[in-house]
C-alpha cells in the first residue's frame, strides 16, 4: 500500500507528504515515475502557482496521460488539492484562458478585486481560515462538522456546472466558490487540508481510509 | 460566515534555538522551536512565523532541520523569514516543509527577485517584509520610508509606493513592521498599517509594537490589517493565543476558535 504524491514540478509537495506520514504507516512517496503512480493504491494531485505553468509542467513531465488514466480508474482514490482541484475542471480563465483536464465540467474564475463586505474591502488572494459548508454527504466529510474552518490561499476558484459534483462551498464577498468537488473515486478541495490543523488531518485520514 | 482575521505568533530563532525568552507552563525546553510551535498550535494559532536570525552561513543547516521538524508535527501554515537571498534558499526552505517565505532585504536590493520567486514558486508563498519608519514631522502629512539593517539604514523609498510595487511584482502578502514601534509595546503604528492595507489588494500582516490585546484589536479595526503578528506578549506567557482571540471576538472581529 503506497500513497503517491504526484510531482510534476509545481507546488509544495512536502507539507502534504509530511501530513500523510504523520497519519499513516503506509509508504508515502513523492514521484513522477509512471510505474510508481500506476502501482500506488491512492494518489494526491497537488498544485500551486499559475494554471499555465501547472498544466504546462504536467504536459512537459509527460504525466497528463497518466493522470487521466488514474482519474478514470474507479479503484484508485485521487485527492486534488488547491490548483490540483482547479486542474480537474474544464477550463480556467487564468493566464488568458487555459484548457484543463476536463474530468469535471466546471470553470475556474478569478475573485473580483473590488469585493466588499460590511463596508470592508475584501482582499485577493482569499487567504486564511474560512467556513466550508458541506453540500452533499461524502465519506471524506466523516467526523468533520458542517461549516468547519479550513485554510485557504487562492485568487481563482471553481464554479461547477453540475450540482452533483459539488460537495462543499465557501462564501467570500458575494461569491459562492465550489471548494470541494468530485466524482466517483476522485475528490478535490481548494483549501489545504495539510495546513488546516486537526480537521484538515481528519479529512486526509478519511482519504487514506476511503474505499469508493 | 466570514474569513477569520489571523493571529500569528512569531519565533525568533538563532542557530535552531528560540531566543528572547519563552515562558510557558509545562514546556520542557523553552528553547526548542518545535515545542514552542506545538504549544502555539495547541492554543489555536492561525499560522506560525519563524524568523531566522542566525548570522552565520553554517547555521543555516540547523534552521532547515528545525523547519523540517516543526513541519512534521505542526499542521498549520509556517512562514520562514531571515536572510533569504536566492531561489535556492527558498527551494530549500519549501523542501524542508515551510509554506511561505518572507523576503526582506533582498527585495530592497534586488526587487526583481520578488518577481522571479513569485513566478517560480507562486505568489501564495511569497511574503514581502516591509520595515517602515515615519519620516514626516508632527503636523505634516504622514510619510513613511523603507529602512533596512534593523531600521538603521534609510533607503529613500516611500513605504506605501514600495508596498504597491511589491504586490505588483508578485508578493502574495505583506508583513508591515513599524521600526518606530518594534519592541516598544505601545501598539502598532496604525497610520502606516492602514495606509498600506488600503493601497494594496493583497492581505497585510501588522507587526511591531504590540504590548496588550487591545493593540491587536486596533491593528485590525483601525489599521485594516488582515492578520496581526506578535512575539513577546505570547513568548513571556503574558497572554495566550486563546485569550487574544477571545478579546478580538469581544470586539466583534471574526476569529477561528
Q: Which residue of A has its CA nearest to B226?
A: A123
In this structure, the dihedral spanned by the alpha carbons of residues B70, B74, B76 and B80, taken in order and rounded to 10 degrees, is: -10
For the cut 80, the answer to whether the pLDDT of residue B150 exceeds it is no
Q: Which residue of B has its CA nearest to A120?
A: B224
- One digit per residue, pLDDT tens: chain A, 212 residues? 899 999 988 777 888 999 999 999 999 999 999 999 999 999 999 988 889 989 999 999 999 999 999 999 999 999 999 999 999 999 999 999 999 999 999 999 999 988 988 888 899 999 999 999 999 999 999 999 999 999 999 999 999 999 999 999 999 999 999 999 999 999 999 999 999 999 999 999 999 999 99
pLDDT score at A176 = 97
Residue ranges of chain A whose CB lies within 8 Å of a chain B CB: 10-12, 14-15, 18-19, 21-22, 48-50, 113, 117, 120-131, 133, 147, 149, 151, 153-155, 171-172, 192, 194-197, 200-201
C-alpha cell at B235: 513568548
What ipTM was assigned to the predicted interfaces of this complex?
0.94
Residues of A annotated as catalytic (active site), given as ranges = 82, 192, 194
Secondary structure of chain A as H, E, C letters: CEEEEECCCCCCHHHHHHHHHHHCCCEEEEECCHHHHHHCCEEEECCCCCHHHHHHHHHHCCCHHHHHHHHHCCCCCEEEECHHHHHCCCEECHHHCEECCCCCCCEEEECCCCCEECCEECCCCEEEEEEEEECCCCHHHCCCCCCEEEEEEECEEEECCCHHHEEEEEEECCEEEEEEEEECCEEEECCCHHHCHHHHHHHHHHHHHCCC
DSSP conformational letter for B209: -
C-alpha cell at B42: 495547541
Identify which of B76, B95, B125 has the shortest CB distance to residue A197.
B76
Query: Could you give the number of structural domains in chain B?
Result: 1
Identify which of A121, A128, A154 has the shortest CB distance to residue B6.
A128
Alpha-carbon gap, residue A56 to A116, rounded angstroms: 34
CB contact under 8 A, A128 and B46: yes
CB of A205 closer than 8 Å to CB of A144: no
CB of B5 closer than 8 Å to CB of B13: no
Taking alpha carbons only, the member of A70, A44, A38 closest to residue A207 is A44
| Minimal C-alpha gap between A54 and chain B (Å) | 10
Alpha-carbon gap, residue A181 to A148, rounded angstroms: 17
Alpha-carbon gap, residue B36 to B55, rounded angstroms: 22
CB contact under 8 A, B94 and A113: no
Identify which of A49, A127, A195 has the shortest CB distance to residue B121.
A49
3-state secondary structure of B142: coil
Chain A residues within an 8 Å CB radius of B256? 129, 149
For the cut 70, the answer to whether the pLDDT of residue B203 exceeds it is yes
CB of A187 closer than 8 Å to CB of A199: no
Chain B residues within an 8 Å CB radius of A49? 121-122, 124
Note the pLDDT tens digit of each residue in A25-52: 999 999 999 999 999 999 999 988 889 9
pLDDT score at A13 = 84
pLDDT score at B31 = 87
Q: Which residue of B has its CA nearest to A20?
A: B72
CB contact under 8 A, A127 and B201: no
Angle between helices B87-96 and B112-121 (to 10 degrees): 40
Residues of B annotated as catalytic (active site), given as ranges = 12, 131
For the cut 90, the answer to whether the pLDDT of residue B27 exceeds it is no
pLDDT score at B116 = 95
Domain range for A46 = 2-209
The secondary element (H helix, E strand) that includes residue B217 is: helix B213-221
For the cut 80, the answer to whether the pLDDT of residue B253 exceeds it is yes
State mean pLDDT over B222-246: 94
Asked if the C-beta of B249 comes within 8 angstroms of chain A's C-beta atoms, the answer is no
| Position B255 in a domain | no
pLDDT tier at B47, thresholds 50, 70, 90: very high
| Minimal C-alpha gap between A176 and chain B (Å) | 12
Asked if the C-beta of B122 comes within 8 angstroms of chain A's C-beta atoms, the answer is yes
CA distances from A81 to A78, A85, A181, A193, B253 (A): 10, 5, 11, 8, 29
CB contact under 8 A, A18 and B122: no
CATH code of the domain containing A32: 3.40.50.880
* Residue position matching grid coordinates 513605504: B159
Query: Could you give the number of structural domains in chain A?
Result: 1
Chain B residues within an 8 Å CB radius of A21? 72
pLDDT score at B122 = 87
3-state secondary structure of B103: strand
Chain A residues within an 8 Å CB radius of B71? 14-15, 18
| Position B21 in a domain | yes
Dihedral over Cα of B187, B191, B195, B196: its sign: negative
Identify which of A125, A129, A130 has the shortest CB distance to residue B202.
A125
**Residue A61 CB partners (closer than 8 Å, separation 6+):** A8, A9, A32
3-state secondary structure of B147: strand
Chain A residues within an 8 Å CB radius of B227? 128
CB of A47 closer than 8 Å to CB of A79: no
Give the CA angle between residues B191, B195, B196 to the nearest 5°: 120
> Strand A156-159's sheet: what is its strand order?
A98-99, A91-92, A107-110, A156-159
C-alpha cell at B144: 513613511
A197, A200, A201, A204, best to mutate vs chain B, most B CBs in 10 Å: A197
C-alpha cell at A56: 504546462
Residues linked to residue A80 through DSSP beta bridges, in sequence order: A45, A188
| Position B256 in a domain | no
**Distance linking the first and last C-alpha atoms of chain A:** 16
| Position B150 in a domain | yes
Q: Which residue of B has its CA nearest to A11?
A: B121
Angle between helices B213-221 and B241-250 (to 10 degrees): 50
pLDDT tier at B1, thresholds 50, 70, 90: low
| Position B175 in a domain | yes
More confident residue, B57 or A75: A75
Alpha-carbon gap, residue B74 to B222, rounded angstroms: 31
Chain B residues 165-184 with CB within 8 Å of chain A: 172-173
Domain range for B37 = 6-250
CATH code of the domain containing B242: 3.20.20.70
DSSP conformational letter for B128: E
Give per-residue burial for A52-90: e unless 16+ CB within 10 Å, then b: ebbbbbbeeeebeebbeebbeeeebbbbbbbbbbbbbbb
C-alpha cell at A164: 452533483
For the cut 90, the answer to whether the pLDDT of residue B167 exceeds it is yes
Considering only B41-50, B91-100, B109-118, B204-213, which range has the smallest mean pLDDT? B91-100
Identify which of B3, B94, B227 has the shortest CB distance to residue A126.
B3
Amino acid at each position: 500500500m503506497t500513497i503517491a504524491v504526484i510531482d510534476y514540478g509545481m507546488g509544495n509537495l512536502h507539507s502534504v507528504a509530511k501530513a500523510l506520514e504523520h497519519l499513516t504507516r503506509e509508504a508515502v512517496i513523492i514521484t513522477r515515475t509512471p510505474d510508481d503512480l500506476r502501482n500506488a493504491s491512492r494518489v494526491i494531485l497537488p498544485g500551486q502557482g499559475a494554471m499555465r505553468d501547472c498544466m504546462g509542467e504536467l504536459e512537459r513531465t509527460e504525466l497528463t496521460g497518466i493522470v487521466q488514466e488514474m482519474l478514470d480508474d474507479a479503484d484508485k482514490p485521487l485527492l486534488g488539492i488547491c490548483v490540483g482541484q482547479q486542474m480537474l475542471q474544464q477550463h480556467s480563465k487564468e493566464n488568458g484562458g487555459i484548457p484543463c483536464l476536463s474530468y469535471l465540467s466546471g470553470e475556474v474564475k478569478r475573485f473580483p478585486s473590488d469585493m466588499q463586505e460590511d463596508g470592508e474591502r475584501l482582499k485577493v488572494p482569499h487567504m486564511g481560515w474560512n467556513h466550508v459548508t458541506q453540500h452533499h454527504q461524502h465519506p471524506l466529510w466523516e467526523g468533520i462538522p458542517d461549516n468547519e474552518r479550513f485554510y485557504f490561499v487562492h485568487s481563482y476558484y471553481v464554479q461547477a456546472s453540475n450540482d452533483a459534483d459539488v460537495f462543499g462551498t465557501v462564501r467570500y464577498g458575494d461569491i459562492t466558490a465550489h471548494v470541494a468537488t468530485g466524482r466517483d473515486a476522485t475528490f478535490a478541495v481548494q483549501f489545504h487540508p495539510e495546513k488546516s490543523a486537526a480537521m484538515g488531518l481528519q479529512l486526509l485520514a478519511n482519504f487514506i481510509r476511503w474505499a469508493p | 460566515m466570514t474569513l477569520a482575521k489571523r493571529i500569528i505568533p512569531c519565533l525568533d530563532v538563532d542557530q535552531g534555538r528560540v531566543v528572547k525568552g519563552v515562558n510557558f507552563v509545562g514546556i520542557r525546553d523553552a528553547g526548542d522551536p518545535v515545542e514552542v510551535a506545538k504549544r502555539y498550535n495547541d492554543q489555536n494559532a492561525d499560522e506560525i512565523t519563524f524568523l531566522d536570525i542566525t548570522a552565520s552561513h553554517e547555521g543555516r543547516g540547523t534552521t532547515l532541520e528545525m523547519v523540517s521538524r516543526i513541519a512534521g508535527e505542526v499542521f498549520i501554515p509556517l512562514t520562514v523569514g531571515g536572510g533569504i537571498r536566492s531561489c535556492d534558499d527558498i527551494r530549500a526552505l519549501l523542501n524542508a516543509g515551510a509554506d511561505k517565505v518572507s523576503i526582506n532585504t533582498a527585495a530592497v536590493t534586488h526587487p526583481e527577485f520578488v518577481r522571479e520567486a513569485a513566478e517560480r514558486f507562486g505568489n501564495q508563498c511569497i511574503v514581502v517584509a516591509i520595515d517602515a519608519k515615519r519620516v514626516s514631522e508632527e503636523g505634516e502629512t504622514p510619510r513613511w520610508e523603507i529602512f533596512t539593517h534593523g531600521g538603521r539604514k534609510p533607503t529613500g523609498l516611500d513605504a506605501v509606493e514600495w508596498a504597491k510595487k511589491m504586490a505588483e511584482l508578485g508578493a502574495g502578502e505583506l508583513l508591515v513592521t513599524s521600526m518606530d514601534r518594534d519592541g516598544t509595546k505601545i501598539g502598532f503604528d496604525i497610520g502606516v498599517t492602514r495606509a498600506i492595507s488600503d493601497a494594496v489588494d493583497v492581505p497585510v500582516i501588522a507587526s511591531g509594537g504590540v504590548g496588550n490585546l487591545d493593540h491587536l484589536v486596533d491593528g485590525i479595526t483601525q489599521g485594516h490589517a488582515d492578520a496581526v503578528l506578535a512575539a513577546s506578549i505570547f513568548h513571556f506567557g503574558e497572554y495566550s493565543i486563546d485569550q487574544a482571540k477571545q478579546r478580538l471576538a469581544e470586539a466583534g472581529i471574526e476569529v477561528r476558535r
